[in-house]
Every structure is written in structure tokens, then in C-alpha cells.
């Protein structure tokens, strides 16, 4: 089941929905890579025995694809400049 991202559930309502309907699926999963879908499914697994531990998830191939934080610097600088120009 997927939930509309526009819905603003309070915490109790969100927990009730998850307990009743299971964890929400991703919207438009076909637009996401299979490796990310697998990572997300492992994180959102309702059964604690089947869910990946933090240690296991940190070793997931999806996280191995990440680039160093330094690659974000140009994007952060561009965003800051864009914010300045819109003031």
C-alpha cells in the first residue's frame, strides 16, 4: 500500500495506518533503481526478524554507490547563491 505524500498524518494516525495496513510502499517504484528498491524494502520490513540491522544496512550495495560528501560542495554553493539572488 502507498500513502499519498500530501496527507499530513499525526504520529498516532501514521502508526495506526502502518499497524493496520503494513509499511507504506514507495510511490512510482518503477522510476527507482532496483538496488534502491531493495534497500528501501529492507529498511521498511515490518517483521523485525527479517528487517536488516543497522550494521547490515550500512553494508548494502546501495550505500556503497555513494560518492564522498565533498561532491556536494558545488551543489550547496549553487543553492546558496540561488537563495541570495531570490531575496
Please report whether residue 5 resides in a domain. no
Three-class DSSP labels, the chain: CCCCCCCCCCHHHHHHHHHHHCCCCCCCHHHCCHHHHHHHHHHHCCCCCCCCCHHHHHCCHHHHCCCCHHHHHHHHHHHHHHHHHCC
> pTM here?
0.61
Please report whether residue 40 resides in a domain. yes
Domain total of the chain: 1
Please report whether residue 2 resides in a domain. no
Please report whether residue 56 resides in a domain. yes
Digit-coded pLDDT (tens) for 39-81: 999 998 888 999 999 999 999 999 999 888 899 999 999 999 9
The residue whose grid cell reads 494516525 is 13
Please report whether residue 42 resides in a domain. yes
Digit-coded pLDDT (tens) for 20-50: 888 777 888 899 999 999 999 999 888 899 9
Structural domain including 79 reads 32-85
Amino acid at each position: 500500500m502507498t500513502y499519498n505524500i500530501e496527507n499530513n498524518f499525526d504520529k498516532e494516525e501514521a502508526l495506526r495506518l502502518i499497524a493496520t495496513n503494513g509499511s507504506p510502499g514507495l510511490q512510482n517504484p518503477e522510476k527507482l533503481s532496483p538496488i534502491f528498491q531493495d534497500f528501501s524494502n529492507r529498511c521498511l520490513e515490518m517483521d523485525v526478524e527479517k528487517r536488516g540491522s543497522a550494521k547490515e544496512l550500512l553494508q548494502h550495495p546501495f550505500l556503497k554507490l555513494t560518492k564522498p560528501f565533498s561532491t556536494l560542495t558545488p551543489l550547496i554553493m549553487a543553492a546558496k547563491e540561488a537563495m541570495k539572488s531570490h531575496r
